[in-house]
Amino acid sequence: MDGQLLNELVYALVLLAWIVVLVTVITKKTYEWMKRRGLSHNVAIYYNRKIIHAAAGGLVAILVPFLFTSPLLPFGLALLLALFTYLPHKTGKLFYWFQDPENIYEVHFCIAWGLSVLLSWLIFHDMVYAVVPTAFMSFGDGVTGVVRNAVYKRRTKAWIGNLAMAAFCVPVGYAIAGLWGALAGVLSSIVEHFEMKPLDDNITVPLTALAVLIIGRSLA
Q: Report yes or no: 12 and 71 within 8 Å, Cβ to Cβ.
A: no
User: CA 175 to CA 32: how far, in whole Å?
Assistant: 38
Q: How many domains does the chain have?
A: 1
pTM of the model: 0.91
What is the C-alpha separation between 2 and 212, in angstroms, rounded? 36
For residue range 158-171, what is the model confidence (pLDDT) as tens digits? 889 899 999 999 99
pLDDT band at 92 (very low <50, low <70, confident <90, very high): very high
Reported as a single tens digit per residue, the pLDDT across 142-199 is 888 888 878 887 777 888 989 999 999 999 999 999 999 999 999 999 999 987 777 7
The conformation of residue 101, written as its DSSP 8-state character, comes to T
pLDDT digits (tens, 9 = 90+) for 98-128: 999 988 999 999 999 999 999 999 999 888 8
Domain that holds residue 173: 3-219
Burial degree of 3 (CB within 10 A; 0-12, 13-18, 19+)? exposed
